[in-house]
Amino acid sequence: MERRSRTRVAVIGGGPAGLCAARHILSRPEAFDPPVVYEMTDHLGGTWFYEERVGTYDNGYPIHSSMYRDLRTNLPKEIMMFPDFPFDDRLPSFLHHTSVQQYLEKYCEKHDIARHIKFNTVVEKVKPVSMETETGGAVTWEVISRSTRGDQNTQTFDSVFVCNGHYSDPHLPYIPGIEHFKGKVLHSHSYRYPEPFANKSVVVLGARASGVDISIELARVNAQVILSHNTPTMSLPPPLGIRQACAVVGVLEDGSLQFQDGSVTQADILLFCTGYNFNFPFLCPSELGLDVQDLFVTPLYKYLLPPGFPSIFFIGICKIICPFLHFDCQVKFALAVLEGSVKLPTQEEMEKEVQREMQRKLDTGVQVKHLLNLDKDQWDYYLDLARVGQFTPPQPVFESLYGEVGRQRQKDPQKYRQINFRLIDATQWELLEAPPEQTD
């Protein structure tokens, strides 16, 4: 049998990670066939595509987007961008989500990706298939998909890039006695705008980006907001009237919420801003040697690939990152593995490295549910991927500006998005006094 000279890759998901994967695969026609990108909706953009509806589409499939109407990015465009595709200079640093969606559409157009996307197509099953070659055993991947019209299709690939995102399966921590709560319970996944919450009493659980932003939105429509969290008290401007409280530990029989310090309160609405579970319904994780918990996946070498199956890559499962930059580095590393320019350690060595890294984090007090949070560690991670994968690492200015934005966000969570930045060169940025001029 004639041996294929080019690698066939399936990309699952048409959001930013999937588009990034497709873009770089298409840039290497000598090594790769054009990718097949599977997208369950009729549009690209993933979670950046705003869908006012919640629940399910007309065809019964769940609505994946968690975007809310007034969301603006919590990172400036200067470090949100793909490294080789800057945002429009005329835009402010902190963007409304519609500007990000437009950016992704332009990225897709520039690299001629859309014709490789199978829209309205759900991946039902991905499984490894062993095959014998002249040089020994190899693994290919059988991908079974179904169009929303009901047509099933099976294709075989040399590699799979899992880019299905992790902002669609709400994580709802159990609260003892929750069945006694007499108000409405919902997750930020189903939040779209604040008006229905006007003049209601709302307890918001969780003070990450969405928890803080949504609390501020609710306070502006005169909701009585209690922001419940385990982190140190934040600086929230007094005019908003947002009260901060410790964690909710239970619901009493009369329906009141009890906090960790013993205090209680009544509320009309309990709003979980508690993140999202990892969900790969098309995979059998144990078949790949993976343990997938709600908030954690292991072992993944370089946060990317199962040691026993180094031709399937999980792009973008890390959290607290510069997402588009992160996807770009991971995709370049993955393609270097497939091209053979990266020689991976043995399966045993990769597993041991993952164990060492996870143990290092646990020893510093990191909880299991936060083991995939990178934050300040992301920069060393990108340098490592670039060194091993032999590509140019992100410029130092990204790390410097990321740190400054974190300081500004902590200083004033309400107003930090009014600041604008400009990149000067590979190491320097500057603060602009006023937003750039906007022209039609």
**CATH class of the region 9-168+276-396:** alpha beta
pLDDT band per the 50, 70, 90 thresholds, residue 440 = very low
Q: Cis link prior to 299 (omega < 30° from 0)?
A: yes
Superfamily in which the 178-272 domain is placed by CATH: FAD/NAD(P)-binding domain (3.50.50.60)
pLDDT at res. 131: 67
Amino acid sitting at position 179: E
Mean pLDDT score across all residues of the chain = 94
For the whole model, what pTM was predicted? Answer: 0.94
Weakest mean pLDDT among 66-70, 253-257, 263-267, 408-412: 408-412
pLDDT band per the 50, 70, 90 thresholds, residue 237 = low
Amino acid sitting at position 252: L
Residues carrying CATH 3.50.50.60, the chain: 9-168+276-396, 178-272
Contact 205, 272 (CB under 8 A): yes
Mean pLDDT of all residues in 310-318: 98
β-pair partners for 125: 144
Write the secondary structure of 219-271 as one string of H (helix), E (strand) and C (coil): HCCCCEEEEECCCCCCCCCHHHCCEEECCEEEECCCCCEEECCCCEECCCEEE
pLDDT band per the 50, 70, 90 thresholds, residue 434 = low
pLDDT at res. 3: 46
CA nearest to 293, candidates 146, 180, 171: 171
pLDDT at res. 378: 99
CA nearest to 203, candidates 267, 107, 137: 267
Using one digit for the tens of pLDDT, what is the confidence trace for 137-177?
A: 589 999 999 999 999 999 999 999 999 999 999 999 999 99
Q: Is the pLDDT of residue 231 over 90?
A: no
Give 187-223 as a DSSP string. Answer: EGGG---SGGGTT-EEEEE--SHHHHHHHHHHHTTT-
The gap between the terminal CA atoms of the chain, to the nearest Å, is 58
Rounded to whole angstroms, the Cα distance separating 410 from 418 reads 14
Q: Is the torsion defined by CA of 101, 102, 105, 110 positive or negative?
A: negative
Rounded to whole angstroms, the Cα distance separating 60 from 148 reads 9
Rounded to whole angstroms, the Cα distance separating 257 from 266 reads 6
pLDDT band per the 50, 70, 90 thresholds, residue 414 = confident
What percent of the chain stands above pLDDT 70? 95
Look at the block and give the residue holding tokens 């996946």.
297
Rounded to whole angstroms, the Cα distance separating 53 from 65 reads 9
